[in-house]
Chain A
């Protein structure tokens, strides 16, 4: 109830200032994300591993840092994050075949998860034999274990997400400078 009292004691000016603060936190996080993506030429510079198909290299809940330099071709053995057309969730797998066509200068890739027995053609769309370089979101450059477990928790239990977000909002609004 102490919290309510502080809220009552605030002037409108103070309240506006606090909300501005809150928005600043949100927008700087967003800018950090976008800036990192711009620098590394990828739409999502940080991803969370969602499956065990790359074990023992990456486990569920690990965080990967991606980069996708335009001029550098994809090399054999690179761990790529790529999209399959019509599916939302990108896949993190290793490149086991690369063919570059002379005429179009296009790279054709075949991928496989380290923990899977065979290549990924079963995961691609029916009839699709290769992953295009344009489908690749990024190549894994850095790795931090476990930290992504938080996002998995937040996504699997939406209640937790709302609780955490609400708590954070209240704390930021009520905290004094």
Chain B
């Protein structure tokens, strides 16, 4: 007959197999049922100024002193309550400036982000909010006059697939002005 060790082995193997199958099932089901496209998030640029040199010294960027930095004021209006179902751990939300320059056809810079962990926190409005991260070109000066501002979000589940397609609201075009003060 079976000894204790074999029994233990059998039970453990079965438990692991069941857990594994459950994980796989949950991953596919929740990936399929989550209403990922049912949120709204709108960011509007209320004001923008470009200055030479960073507001706070940047030790990692040797060219920061002569570089141009844009400072924005944004209105942010978010309602992502419906993204929270039984397998939503958090929603990562970000406002991204996207633009093309002759030397760099793709430039994406996150200006602001937010981690939403519960449906109660998923609806909010922010007025004239400053950009959280530096807005600066790859080169020293902005190689473009216009840029798009888009809001993207992705869902992190408790277990399963991370959202593979990034969803966003229609973007807003804004103008990057010349240096206004030093």
B contact residues around A143 at 8 Å (CB): 156-157, 159-162
In the docked arrangement, what's the CA distance between A15 and B102, Å? Answer: 70
The 8 closest A-B pairs by CB, nearest first: A121-B60, A100-B106, A76-B108, A99-B138, A96-B110, A98-B108, A57-B156, A99-B104
In the docked arrangement, what's the CA distance between A126 and B6, Å? Answer: 55
Nearest-neighbor residue (CB-CB) of A2 within chain B: B3
In the docked arrangement, what's the CA distance between A163 and B52, Å? Answer: 62
18 contacts between A and B (CB under 8 A): A56-B90, A56-B115, A56-B117, A73-B106, A76-B152, A79-B162, A94-B92, A96-B94, A98-B106, A99-B104, A100-B107, A101-B103, A102-B104, A114-B92, A122-B60, A129-B60, A129-B61, A142-B160
Nearest-neighbor residue (CB-CB) of B158 within chain A: A145
Chain B contact residue count (CB 8 A cutoff): 37
Task: Report if B57 contacts A (CB, 8 A).
Answer: no
In the docked arrangement, what's the CA distance between A121 and B59, Å? Answer: 9
Residues of A contacting B: mostly? mixed
A-side interface size class: 20 to 34
B60 near A75 with CB under 8 A, answer no
Counting chain A CB atoms within 10 Å of each CB, the highest count among B109, B138, B152, B160 belongs to B138
B contact residues around A76 at 8 Å (CB): 94, 96, 108, 110, 152
Task: Report if A140 contacts B (CB, 8 A).
Answer: yes
- Nearest CB of chain A from residue B176's CB, rounded to whole Å: 16
B102 near A97 with CB under 8 A, answer no
Q: Interface on A for B, CB 8 Å cutoff?
A: 56-57, 73, 75-77, 79, 94, 96-103, 107-108, 114, 119, 121-122, 129, 140-145, 171, 175
- Nearest CB of chain B from residue A71's CB, rounded to whole Å: 15
Task: Report if B154 contacts A (CB, 8 A).
Answer: yes
Query: Of A77, A97, A98, A108, which is within 8 A of B154 by CB?
Result: A77
B contact residues around A77 at 8 Å (CB): 92, 94, 96, 110, 152, 154, 166
B94 near A102 with CB under 8 A, answer no
Query: When A and B form their complex, what is the total count of cross-chain residue pairs whose Cβ atoms lie within 8 Å?
Result: 84
In the docked arrangement, what's the CA distance between A73 and B108, Å? Answer: 13
Q: Interface on B for A, CB 8 Å cutoff?
A: 5-6, 9, 23, 27, 60-61, 89-90, 92, 94, 96, 102-110, 113, 115, 117, 133, 138, 152, 154, 156-162, 164, 166
B contact residues around A175 at 8 Å (CB): 6
Nearest-neighbor residue (CB-CB) of B153 within chain A: A77
In the docked arrangement, what's the CA distance between A108 and B109, Å? Answer: 12
- Nearest CB of chain A from residue B20's CB, rounded to whole Å: 10
A contact residues around B94 at 8 Å (CB): 76-77, 96
B117 near A102 with CB under 8 A, answer no
